[in-house]
Amino acid sequence: MLENKSILITGGTGSLGKALTSHILNTYPNLKRLVIFSRDEQKQFQMAQEYPSNKFPQVRFFIGDVRDKERLIRACKGIDYVIHAAAMKHVHIAEYNPDECVKTNIIGGQNVIDACLQSNVERVVALSTDKACAPINLYGATKLASDKLFVAANNISGNNPIRFSVVRYGNVMGSNGSVIPFFINNKRNGILPITDSNMTRFNISLEGGVEMVMHALFNAWGGEIFIPKIPSYRIMDVAEAIGPECEHKIVGIRPGEKIHEEMITPSDSFYTYDLGKYYTILPSVTKWNLQEFLSNFNGVKVKEGFAYTSGDNTEWETVETLRELIKEYVDPTFNV
């Protein structure tokens, strides 16, 4: 499907952007062009050392901010597929700088939509977060607004065959600013700060996130919010897996944090379908036939009132599995 195609990744120098870049280049050698779009000059410089032009002539590095629509329009020229991963995502920073979060996550999202509609882009996948589900913090609220924009973009595309979809998932294991590398770094101090001993989170590896994005890119009909079936972990199990000898210091939850995360609420259940490996929340009105969609993916509607939360999950990581995953996906030299 990517034979002689061009892809643009916004936020391409982030954790998932780099993982997507590696996967795409290794899997699709006949890709025409891969454009890494981000505003971080230093990260682009570092990433360019990994992908020098003499070995990866199809890779382009494009400095730009999703707040700048004109720059996005230029970046989208000749692009077939867009993966929108750029976001302001740190909860406490967004709480302190709300206007900046709105500019990047909402206005920036609409700029991506407008740039894609004005170009010949065929498919767009926007990355979301579990915090967009029943949000209590600004980051989650802006990502919910962004999700709504990308879903609704299918309604304003007219005769343009472009398809917009969204992928929503939990904490990416080992991503920048996440709890596991934070605990590993703090282990040497002998103290692991615990926000709340009851806290749980969904867990997905970078590879799992990449697989889900590619699934949406290839299979979306337009308007879906894809949600993976993934395990949860307890924060105390993460602490035990990384630093069993460390003191656990309860510091309290930060502004805007939940004890348990959600990805599907009971209110979403009226439009949620089980597709096997993934759930999908569909818009109330689609441009395509719902029964054909369900038949194509063997989709089954979930029961009314169904909810998918990290605290009530049926699949859990254990201390042992967490140690294995950390060694495999985060730090190959990790030892307790």
- Average pLDDT on 55-64 reads 97
**CA torsion 180→185→187→188, rounded to 10°?**
170
- Average pLDDT on 317-321 reads 97
Mean confidence (pLDDT) of the chain: 95
Cα separation, 245 vs 110, in Å, equals 48
pLDDT for 294 equals: 96
Q: In 3D, which of 142, 220, 205 has the Cα closest to residue 175?
A: 205
User: For the chain, how many structural domains are there in total?
Assistant: 1
- Average pLDDT on 140-153 reads 97
How far is residue 136 CA from its own chain's centroid? 19
Whether 177 has a pLDDT exceeding 80, the answer reads: no
Residue 28 lies in a domain: yes
Whether 170 has a pLDDT exceeding 90, the answer reads: no
Other C-beta atoms lying within 10 Å of the C-beta of residue 21: 22
Residue 53 lies in a domain: yes
Tell me the two tokens of residue 68: 């700048």
pLDDT in tens, 264-274: 999 999 999 99
- Average pLDDT on 297-325 reads 96
Q: Which residues pair with 247 in a beta bridge?
A: 191
pLDDT for 194 equals: 95
pLDDT in tens, 2-47: 889 999 999 999 999 999 999 999 999 999 999 999 999 999 999 9
Whether 1 has a pLDDT exceeding 90, the answer reads: no
Whether 326 has a pLDDT exceeding 80, the answer reads: yes
The proportion of the chain whose per-residue pLDDT surpasses 90, expressed as a percent, equals: 88
- Average pLDDT on 67-81 reads 97
Domain ranges, residue 162: 6-169+206-229+262-309
Strands (E), the chain: 6-10, 33-38, 59-63, 81-84, 123-127, 163-167, 171-172, 191-194, 200-204, 225-228, 232-234, 247-250, 262-264, 272-274, 278-281, 300-301, 308-309
CATH of the domain at 277: 3.40.50.720
Q: In 3D, which of 44, 136, 122, 135 has the Cα closest to residue 86?
A: 44
Residue 250 lies in a domain: no
Cα separation, 279 vs 15, in Å, equals 24
Residue 329 lies in a domain: no
Residue 25 lies in a domain: yes
pLDDT for 225 equals: 98
**CA torsion 138→233→227→93, rounded to 10°?**
20
pLDDT in tens, 189-233: 999 999 999 999 999 999 999 999 999 999 999 999 999 999 999
pLDDT band at 257 (very low <50, low <70, confident <90, very high): confident
Whether 255 has a pLDDT exceeding 90, the answer reads: no
Rounded to two decimals, the pTM is 0.94
Q: For the stretch 108-138, what's the b/e string if a residue is b when 16 or more beta carbons lie within 10 angstroms of its beta carbon?
A: bbbbbbbbbbebebbbbbbbbbbbbbbbebb
pLDDT for 336 equals: 78
The one-letter amino acid at 243: G
pLDDT for 161 equals: 93
Residue 62 lies in a domain: yes
pLDDT band at 101 (very low <50, low <70, confident <90, very high): very high
Residues with a catalytic annotation lie at: 131
- Which of 132-136, 185-189, 232-236 comes out lowest in average pLDDT? 185-189
pLDDT for 202 equals: 95
Cα separation, 303 vs 284, in Å, equals 16
Whether 184 has a pLDDT exceeding 90, the answer reads: yes
Whether 246 has a pLDDT exceeding 80, the answer reads: yes
pLDDT in tens, 5-14: 999 999 999 9
Other C-beta atoms lying within 10 Å of the C-beta of residue 181: 17
pLDDT for 175 equals: 81
